[in-house]
Amino acid sequence: MERKCCRALVISPTRELSAQILDSFRAYGRHLHISAALAIGGVPMGGQVRALLDGVDVLVATPGRLLDLVKGNALRLGEVEFLVLDEADRMLDMGFIHDIRKIVAKLPTHRQTLLFSATMPHTIVELARAMLRDPVKATVAPAGSTVARVEQRIVRVDRAAKLGILADILKRESIDRALVFTRTKRGDRVVRSLVKAGIAAHAIHGNKSQNQRDRVLAGFRKGEVRTLVATDIAARGIDVEGISHVVNFDLPNVPETYVHRIGRTARAGAEGIAISLCDAEEVASLRDIEKLIRMSIPAVNHSSSLQPARRSGSHSRSTWPPAHELGKQRHSDDTSRRRDRRESQLQAPGGLPAFLYRGAGTKGCPAKS
């Protein structure tokens, strides 16, 4: 093995997913004597530099730290034989497209490339065309597939009452582990509200240090943390056994993200429950989700002890807009959400990666200036 080189390079969008991929390599390859290393941000670079000195078979990395190592002459990419891009669409969503192009431009022309993507927006198609030659395409499951063992519910709420209702739901339900998704990095506020209500909870999001995120996620895996509040950083690929409930404190703007979120429960043949709090401003997002998954999610009123309730405005005390107003509301939605929705195409079971592009021979992709 050449010094400061790797044979297989695996790139993923988040630190948590990268660490999980490395763990899988070590578990599945424990009898193969495969050397593997991790290169992620948020932690000192010194240990990663030392791990690469004698070269490794497999390097799992996030794009930013990978380029830092290359710039610091701690890593050379000229010996890469296999390139894997995991959660490629998520990397593009997070703004890594230019980093990916820079990385690919430094790789050998002759290599094997595998591209995993849960959705196939136009940008992913263009990236695949630039990176691959005569690829084999494997599609798993139709668009919007959700796990059959997940019991899905919508709870109709007023926005101002969401925090109190979330606490009430977590107290009512028989919960082993609950994963609560928020759309923004306001998880700490949600945690403070839950703790005040007597519910132990912790949060992970992009503003947390890597050590904090690792510690909380490890506690969640062990069952020491029963309620975890997270942004969508935890929705892609993170596999934690025993999650009985997924709660969407906020409905996602992109319908496919809903499928990713609820796919964190009912894994490996288990059953699970997905509860989504939906206020009047989120009705259009709910309709888009139901259109994607091709089913109507049972709606309940919180005041009705979580019993099924009609959605019609004339039969409910909810402040949701009547049906004839939905078109106006959808028309005024954020244009970026509509663009993201049009680009999203296909989804794998339980939110797992759905597309595999595999090219025996590939061509380089020049970096943009």
Per-residue pLDDT tens over the stretch 266-276: 887 789 999 99
CA separation for the pair 291, 286 (Å, rounded): 9
Mean pLDDT, residues 225-250? 86
pLDDT at 263 (0 to 100): 87
State the pLDDT at residue 342. 44
Mean pLDDT value across residues 326-351: 43
Q: What pLDDT score was predicted for residue 348?
A: 37
pLDDT attached to residue 200: 95
pLDDT of residue 250: 95
User: For the chain, what is the mean pLDDT?
Assistant: 81
Reading the block at residue 136, the tokens are 């084999």
Q: Is 141 within 8 Å of 348 (Cβ atoms)? A: yes
Structure tokens given for 165: 């209702």
What was the pLDDT predicted at 203?
A: 92
CA–CA distance, 77 with 66 (Å, rounded to integer): 10
Mean pLDDT of 285-301: 92
Domains along the chain with CATH numbers: 6-140+352-362 (3.40.50.300), 150-350 (3.40.50.300)
For the cut 70, the answer to whether the pLDDT of residue 318 exceeds it is: no
Across 77-92, average pLDDT: 92
